A = this chain, B = another copy of it.
Amino acid sequence: MTVKQLSMPELVASCGVLGIGNVGLWREPVQTYGLEATAKIVRDAGLTVTTLCRGGFFTAIDPRERSQALDDNRRAIDEAATLGTDTLVLVSGGLPAGSKDLHGARERIADALGELAPYAERRGVRLAIEPLHPMYASDRCVVSTLKQALDLAERFPAHQVGVTVDTYHIWWDDDAPAQIARAGAGGRIHTFQLADWTTPLPEGVLNGRGQIGDGAIDMREWQGHVEAAGYTGAIEVELFNDGLWARDGREVLAETAARFVEHTA
């Protein structure tokens, strides 16, 4: 998504030029290029798919909506398996229209995980609950902290459900380092993502994630926390940024790779 202006073949070619061996994919561009075609082009290029984003949106009360969400998540799990990744990132969903019940919404997430986690395990896919910044709590994700995500994940085995650690969402939280340690001890850090925090935030606060190094987050510090907790997996960079999307995608990918080298250990 950082370079969503690139087509799938352009992305794969650019990764090759830059020596990038891992890529995290989103469902929409995969569907645009075709699931089987994407699986083939990344496999032929020797690229490893780190994660698929995203499943989730589990908070509907209406039974029909809820059933549709579960069906869609089973498809997402199947897609992850086809792409050869072992991790599906979950964005849990916000409050249903008119509801003020955060606790109830979080319980419905647990119910959905109970239905999906065994299905995912049979396909070799782990679910990774992503806490989103509290500014998304009403309309996008009622799971706002790593602690809440782990409280949900720990109801299930670690090989079924873990968490996504994304600097953009947790950097402000002085409890997050302890929760990273908790997640690591339980084998539940299923992916680690970087984005920087820059202000002013844009209207809607969706597409203002900063390029690595441009903002308030010390990337090495968070990398240190996850590595001290035992994480040895890939590190993803996930930027939603209208300014970056308006530029040449190859140039943005090269810049992002350079920033990654500059700001990580």
A interface residues, Cβ below 8 angstroms from B: 95, 99-103, 133-135, 137-139, 144-145, 147-148, 171-175, 197, 199-205, 215-218, 221
Smallest CB separation, A170 vs chain B (Å): 9
Chain B residue at minimal CB-CB distance from A221: B100
In the complex, are the beta carbons of A134 and B172 less than 8 A apart?
yes
Residues of B within 8 A of A197 (CB): 137-138
User: Is A103 a contact of B148 with CB atoms below 8 Å?
Assistant: no
Which single member of B100, B134, B147, B216 contacts A95 (CB below 8 Å)?
B216
* A-side interface mostly: loop
Q: Are A218 and B100 in contact (CB-based, < 8 A)? A: yes
Residues of B within 8 A of A101 (CB): 218
Report yes or no: B148 in contact with A174, Cβ–Cβ below 8 A: yes
Whether B199 contacts A139 by the Cβ 8 Å rule is yes
In the complex, the count of this chain's copies comes to 2
Q: A100-B221, A138-B197 are in contact. List 18 more A-B contacts (CB 8 A).
A: A99-B216, A100-B217, A101-B218, A102-B174, A134-B134, A134-B172, A135-B201, A135-B205, A137-B171, A137-B197, A137-B216, A139-B199, A139-B200, A144-B172, A145-B173, A201-B205, A203-B203, A205-B205
Chain B residue numbers with a CB within 8 Å of A175 are 147
Are B216 and A174 within 8 A (Cβ)?
Answer: no
Distance from A96 Cβ to chain B, minimum over Cβ atoms (Å): 11
Bound complex: CA of A144 vs CA of B176, how far in Å?
A: 13
Are A102 and B138 in contact, with the CB atoms below 8 A? Answer: no
Nearest B residue to A142 via CB reads B172
Report yes or no: B134 in contact with A199, Cβ–Cβ below 8 A.
Answer: no
Interchain residue pairs with CB less than 8 A apart (12)? A100-B216, A137-B171, A138-B172, A138-B215, A139-B199, A145-B173, A200-B204, A200-B205, A201-B204, A201-B205, A202-B203, A205-B205
Q: Please name all residues of chain B whose beta carbon is closer than 8 Å to the beta carbon of A174 when the two chains form the complex.
A: 102-103, 148
Which has the most chain B C-beta neighbours within 10 Å: A145, A204, A216?
A: A216
> Contact partner of A133 among B135, B200, B204, B221, CB < 8 A?
B135
